[in-house]
C-alpha cells in the first residue's frame, strides 16, 4: 500500500515565490484533507481544504480545485491567503523581527494515512542586512541587498497606520534595492499623528539615502501605500529633481486632510502636509459638498470611501487640492482597486493617469487596476481574510473592501508588476546617464 506524501518545490524561499504543492499516495477518487498552519507574530493562522484524488491517487494544488474548505477554485497558494487567525482577531501577518521566516506546516490525510511537510517564506534573503536609522532627525530602517557594489534605491513610506514598513523594505532589498523604510509618525520619537507633517522631512530622507548608499545610476524611487501613495506622488511633484520614479499603491490624486490619523486637537479636517511651514490646501477645505455622514452613520463596518466620494462633487475644491503630478520627472506606477473601501483609488489613479496622458508625460506610466479587490494591496502570498479592522489611530471600525480571493490576486500581480516597472525605470536611467 502506497504511503501518503507531500512534495513542495522551493520549500525554503522568499515570500514572493509561489510554491507547487502536490500530494501523492492516496486511493484514486478518495477524499484528501489538507490543512496549513502558520504562526505569525505569536498567533496561529489556519486554513483547510478537501480535495478528491485523481486516477493516480494525486492532488496537485496548481491543478485541482477543492470541493470544500477555506477557498474555492484552482490556486496553488490558496491554503496561505485563505488562512484566518485561530481564536484571535490579529491582523499581524509577519513575525517580529521581520527577518524571522514564516514557517507553514502542511498536514494531509486520506483515510487512515497521513503526511506532513513544511515550507518557509522569507522576507529577507540570505545576506540582506538591516540597520536602524536614528540620525539627522530621521526615524527608519535601512535594508541593503547581499553582496558588494552599488544598488538602485527605494524609499518606502507607510499609510495612515504610521510606523516603519520594514516588511516592504526587506523584500525590496531581497530583490536588489537599497531600501529605506522611513517613518513619519507613530514611531519612536515622532508624533503619534499624521497632522502637520512637513514635506522637508522627506526631502531630508531622500538626501540621506543618496549620501549613505550612493545608489547605482543615482536612482532613488519612492514607494508608498494609501496615504503613503498620496505622499509619494506629492513628493515626486514637489522634489522632482530628487525622485527617479514613483510607485503609488492605492494612491490619491489629491491632498487630503488628516482624516482617521489626525491629531484630535487638529481634527480630521485639519491639514496633513506642510511646505515651508504652510499647510497645503486639501480637498476637504472649503468644500461645498464634502460630508462625513456616509462614513459615520449606520452600523459598522464603515466604508470611508463613501465620504471621500462626496468631496469629488465640488469641482473647485478638487482643482485646488489636485496633486500636480505633471511636475514629476520620472516613471510613475499606480496600483488601485475597484472595490476600495478606504477611498476610491481606482478613480484617483485614473485621474492621475489621465493628467499624465494629457501632458504627454515623457516617462513610463503604468496603471494596474484590480477588479473586485480592496484597499489592502500588500504582499504576495499572505492571508487576505481580515477585511474589517479598527483603524490604528482613530479606532473607527472600517472595511478596506474587496474579497479574499481578489485581494490575493492583487497582492501577487501588483508585486510582479512593480518589480518589472522598477527594472525598466532603472534601465532607462542608466541608459540616459550614458548618453
Which is the catalytic residue, given 226, 336, 342, 349?
A: 226
Place of cell 484597499: 375
Contacts of 20 (CB under 8 A, 6+ apart): 8, 9, 10, 60, 61, 62, 76
Specify whether 226 is catalytic. Answer: yes
Is residue 22 classed as helix, strand or coil in its secondary structure?
strand
Specify whether 100 is catalytic. Answer: no
Based on its alpha-carbon atoms, the radius of gyration of the chain, rounded to whole angstroms, reads 23
Specify whether the CB–CB gap between 201 and 407 falls below 8 A.
no
Q: What share of the chain is helix, strand, coil (3-state, %, to 5)?
A: 25, 30, 45
Determine the Cα–Cα distance for residues 274 and 279; give it in Å rounded to an integer.
4
Distances (CA, A) of 2 to 26, 56, 205, 247: 7, 11, 60, 51
H-helix or E-strand spanning residue 420: helix 404-434
Place of cell 479574499: 404
Which is the catalytic residue, given 304, 375, 406, 414?
A: 375
Which is the catalytic residue, given 75, 314, 340, 411?
A: 340
Specify whether the CB–CB gap between 37 and 44 falls below 8 A.
yes
251 φψ region: left (φ > 0), alpha (ψ -120 to 50), beta (else): beta
H-helix or E-strand spanning residue 321: helix 315-321
Q: Can you point out the beta strands (E) in 82-124?
A: 84-85, 102-110, 113-122
Distances (CA, A) of 46 to 4, 7, 84: 21, 19, 6
Distances (CA, A) of 425 to 154, 174, 334: 12, 18, 14
Determine the Cα–Cα distance for residues 191 and 433; give it in Å rounded to an integer.
40
H-helix or E-strand spanning residue 211: helix 200-213
Q: What angle do CA 298, 301, 305 make, to 5 degrees?
A: 85
C-alpha cell at 19: 510554491
Specify whether 302 is catalytic. Answer: no
Catalytic residues: 226, 340, 375
Amino acid at each position: 500500500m502506497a504511503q501518503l506524501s507531500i512534495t513542495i518545490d522551493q520549500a525554503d524561499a522568499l515570500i514572493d515565490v509561489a510554491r507547487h504543492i502536490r500530494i501523492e499516495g492516496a486511493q484514486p477518487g478518495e477524499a484528501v484533507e489538507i490543512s496549513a498552519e502558520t504562526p505569525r507574530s505569536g498567533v496561529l493562522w489556519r486554513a483547510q481544504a478537501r480535495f478528491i484524488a485523481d486516477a493516480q491517487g494525486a492532488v496537485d494544488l496548481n491543478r485541482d480545485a477543492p470541493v470544500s474548505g477555506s477557498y474555492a477554485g484552482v490556486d496553488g497558494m490558496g491554503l496561505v491567503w485563505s488562512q484566518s487567525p485561530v481564536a484571535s482577531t490579529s491582523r499581524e501577518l509577519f513575525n517580529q523581527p521581520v527577518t524571522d521566516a514564516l514557517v507553514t506546516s502542511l498536514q494531509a490525510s486520506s483515510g487512515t494515512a497521513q503526511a506532513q511537510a513544511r515550507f518557509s517564506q522569507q522576507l529577507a534573503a540570505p545576506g540582506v542586512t538591516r540597520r536602524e536609522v536614528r540620525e539627522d532627525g530621521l526615524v527608519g530602517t535601512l535594508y541593503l541587498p547581499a553582496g558588494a557594489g552599488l544598488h538602485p534605491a527605494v524609499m518606502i513610506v507607510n499609510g495612515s497606520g504610521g510606523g516603519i514598513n520594514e516588511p516592504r523594505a526587506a523584500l525590496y532589498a531581497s530583490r536588489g534595492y537599497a531600501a529605506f523604510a522611513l517613518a513619519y509618525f507613530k514611531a519612536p520619537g515622532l508624533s503619534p499623528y499624521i497632522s502637520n507633517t512637513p514635506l522637508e522631512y522627506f526631502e531630508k530622507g531622500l538626501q540621506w539615502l543618496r549620501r549613505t548608499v550612493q545608489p547605482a545610476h543615482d536612482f532613488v524611487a519612492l514607494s508608498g501605500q494609501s496615504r503613503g501613495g498620496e505622499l509619494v506622488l506629492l513628493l515626486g511633484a514637489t522634489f522632482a529633481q530628487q525622485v527617479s520614479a514613483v510607485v503609488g499603491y492605492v494612491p490619491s490624486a489629491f491632498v487630503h486632510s488628516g482624516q482617521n490619523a489626525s491629531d484630535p486637537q487638529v481634527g480630521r479636517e485639519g491639514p496633513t502636509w506642510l511646505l515651508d511651514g504652510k499647510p497645503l490646501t486639501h480637498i476637504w477645505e472649503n468644500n461645498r459638498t464634502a460630508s462625513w455622514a456616509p462614513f459615520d452613520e449606520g452600523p459598522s463596518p464603515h466604508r470611508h470611501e463613501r465620504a471621500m466620494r462626496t468631496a469629488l462633487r465640488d469641482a473647485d475644491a478638487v482643482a485646488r487640492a489636485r496633486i500636480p503630478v505633471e511636475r514629476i520627472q520620472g516613471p510613475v506606477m499606480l496600483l488601485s482597486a475597484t472595490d476600495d473601501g478606504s477611498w476610491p483609488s481606482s478613480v484617483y489613479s485614473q485621474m492621475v493617469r489621465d493628467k499624465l496622458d494629457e501632458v504627454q508625460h515623457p516617462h513610463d506610466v503604468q496603471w494596474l487596476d484590480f477588479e473586485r479587490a480592496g484597499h489592502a494591496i500588500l504582499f504576495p502570498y499572505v492571508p487576505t481574510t481580515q477585511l474589517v479592522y479598527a483603524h490604528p489611530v482613530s479606532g473607527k471600525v472600517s472595511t478596506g473592501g474587496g474579497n479574499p480571493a481578489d485581494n490575493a490576486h492583487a497582492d501577487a500581480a501588483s508585486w510582479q508588476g512593480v518589480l518589472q516597472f522598477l527594472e525598466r525605470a532603472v534601465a532607462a536611467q542608466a541608459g540616459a546617464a550614458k548618453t
